[in-house]
Amino acid sequence: MKILVIGSGGREHALVWKLAQSKKVEKIWAAPGNGGTSGEDKTENFLMDIDPGDIEGQKILLDFAQKEKIDLTVVGPETPLAAGIVDKFRAAGLAIVGPDSKAARLESSKVFSNTFMNHYGVRAPKRKNFSDPAAAIEYAQGHFGKKRRADETPVPLVIKADGLASGKGVVIAGTLDEAKECLSSFMKKSSLGSAGKNILFEEFIEGREVSVMAAVSVSPGKKPVIKPFISARDHKSRFEGGKGPNTGGMGAIAPVPDFTARIQKDFANAIVAPTLKGMIAENMDYRGFIFFGLMVKDDQCYLLEYNVRLGDPETQALLPLLDSDFYELCLSILDGSLSSFNLKWKKEFSCAPVVVVSGYPGSYPKGLPVAMNTTRLEKLGAKVFVAGAQRGGGGHLGSGLRTSGGRVLAVSCLGADQSEAHRRAYEALGFINFEGMDYRKDIGKASSADNGKADGSDGGNG
C-alpha cells in the first residue's frame, strides 16, 4: 500500500514511523516532511516548499495522489483540514483520514464548538463570545470588578480567539490591564489576523489538564463510534514548574497516573457520549481523529477544546505505546469497522521531553547543526521525533541535520513506571547536542506538576 502523510512536524514524523511498521505498507511520502521523516524506513519527503493549507498546495497534493495511485492519505495538522483537503480528496474518490471541513469547525471556530457543546450537553466551562471590542472590554471590567477568590485576589479571565492561531490564541488574564492588552492585540491590532476578530471569554477552572485523543468513525450508513486512546499530558509552559510563556508544547507523558478509572467513566459519560450524539445529529462526516483537551476538577471532566486531529507533542508520547497496527486502525476508521477494532496498548509509561533552541518561543537562530550519538540512543531504546530540523545530507538521522524551527525534536522513552521513563528520556538527551540546545528538566518527573496541577496555565484553562 502507498501512503501519503501530510504535515511537517514531530507528530507527522511519529505517524510516518508508526505506519512504516505495518507489513502492508510498502511506500510512504511525507508532504512536506522534515529531516526526520526523510530518514524513516520506506519513506521519502515530497515537495518541501508546498503549503498543504492553501489552495495551490492542496491541488498539487491531489494531483500527486492521483498520479501515484495513493491508497491512503493521513492528515496531521489542522490547517489543511479546515481548508477542506478531505472534501477535495473524497470528491476525487481517494481514501483520506480526517474530518471534512464542516466537522473541522469543531476546532477552526471556537464559537461553533461552544455552540455545539452547549446544544448537546457537553460539560464545559461557561463561555461568552464577542465581536465588538468595546463590549468585550466592558465585560472584562465587570468581571474584574466582581469576581474574587477567598483571599480577595481576582479570578483570572480566560480569553480565546475564535479561529486557528497556531497555539497562540489563548490568554489567561490575571488583571483587567492584562485583559485589555490582550483584547487590543487580538481584536484591534489583529495580531492573530482574522482569527482574533471574534473572541470568547471562558470561565476559569482550576484543576489538572489531561489530553485524550480518540479515533472517530461517523459517516452515513456506518455504525458511529468514538474510541478513546489512553490519556496523555502536555506541558505548554516554557520553563520548569509551569513558568514562563505558553509554547507549542515542551513535552508530554502517557498515560496520566491521576486520570483514574472513575474519572475516565465521567469522561465517557459527560464528554464522549454527548459529542458522538452531536456528530450524528449534525450529519457530520467525521472519519479521523479527535483531541479532547480536558480540565479535571473534583474528579469531573470539563472540555476546554476540541482539536480535530492528533495532538503534538502528545502523539510522540502515545504512538510508541500503541501495540496495534496503525495502518489497520486507519482502515477501520474509513470502512466503519472501528467498533470491533482491537486497540491494544503496552503496559508501560512514556516520557517525551521536547528540545528547543534557546530563545524560543521568542526569536532564535536557525541552521544550527545537530549532533546525535545514534548508537547510544538506540541502545537506550530512545526514539527521536524531529519537528523543526531539516537534512542537507544523506546517512543516518544525525547526518546533516540542521535546526529550522524553535521546537527541534522530542525524545520518547518507555519505562515500567513514570520515573523510569523520565530517567531514560533524560539520559537519552545527553546524546544529542547543538548550540543553544535547551529543554525543561521536569517533564514526567514524579515530583513535578504531573502529579498535581497541570502547568499549561498554572493549573487553569490552558
Convert the pLDDT of each residue in 132-162 to its tens digit: 999 999 999 999 988 777 677 889 999 999 9
pLDDT at position 102: 95
Q: Which long-range contacts (CB under 8 A, 24 or more apart) does 442-448 make?
A: 442/240, 442/241, 443/235, 443/250, 443/251, 443/252, 443/253, 443/351, 443/352, 443/353, 443/354, 444/251, 444/253, 444/349, 444/351, 444/353, 444/418, 446/418, 446/419, 446/422, 448/240, 448/241
Tell whether the model's pLDDT for residue 40 goes beyond 50: yes
Average pLDDT value for residue range 354-381? 96
- Please give the pLDDT value at position 451: 41
Question: What is the per-residue pLDDT for 397?
Answer: 61
pLDDT digits 0-9 by tens, 304-349: 999 999 999 999 999 999 999 999 999 999 999 999 999 999 999 9
pLDDT digits (tens, 9 = 90+) for 161-207: 998 887 778 888 999 999 999 999 999 999 999 989 999 999 999 99
Mean pLDDT of 290-312: 97
Average pLDDT over residues 451-457: 42
pLDDT for res 433? 97
Q: Residue 48: pLDDT above 70?
A: no
Which pLDDT score is estimated for 168? 77
Cell triple for 445: 518527573
Instruction: Tell me the β-bridge partners of 383.
Output: 412
- Whether 47 shows a pLDDT value over 80: the answer reads no
Alpha-carbon span 312 to 430, nearest angstrom: 23
In the chain, the percentage of residues whose pLDDT exceeds 90 is 85
pLDDT bracket for residue 398 (50, 70, 90): low
Mean pLDDT across the chain, nearest whole number?
Answer: 93
